[in-house]
Structure 1
């Protein structure tokens, strides 16, 4: 199952906390292939989504993303100057 780094958890919680009713909200990842995903903040997961929760950060994965990201780590990179966040996918250690 996808895991989140501490930085990714913090970023996800910060992003999600800015919307109303953030108790059930999370970042949803929809997959296509190994390199392209669509991320968005949603109020609740879709019925068939896999839910990953780490330190209060909730990430919802559609079926394709759940399969592709099963053995991956989600990290977040923050540009200190502009405050831009980029998410990165890394391989889990065997």
Structure 2
């Protein structure tokens, strides 16, 4: 099952609060075309067939394809350089490390 780091959970909390989503809203990860990557959006509620991960005030909704692709992964947040020389935070997906406790 997809693991979520504390940093990613905090970022999701901030995004959902800033977007004023209803209680139970969260980050939705879908794979409409898995060869093209994943699609992240904010959603007020999960789609009917979504896998719902929740805890510590954070909800993540995964469509069936994304759930299968991310089964052994970790959702994290990393700093990335911007074109103007600054930094921004981006979600990142990495393999789970055995025994890491994430």
TM category (shorter chain) comes to 0.7 to 0.9
RMSD: 2.1
Unaligned runs of 5+ in 1: none
Asked if 2 retains the 8 angstrom alpha-carbon contact of 1:3 and 1:52, the reply is no
Unaligned runs of 5+ in 2: none
How many residues are matched? 94
Large movers: runs of 4+ above 6 Å = none
Determine which structure has more spread, i.e. the larger CA radius of gyration.
Answer: 2
Matches within 5 A, 1:1-94: 1-31=1-31, 32-33=33-34, 36-78=37-79, 82=86, 84-94=88-98
**2-structure distance, mates of 1:43, 1:83:** 29
Normalising by structure 1, report the TM-score: 0.86
Normalising by structure 2, report the TM-score: 0.80
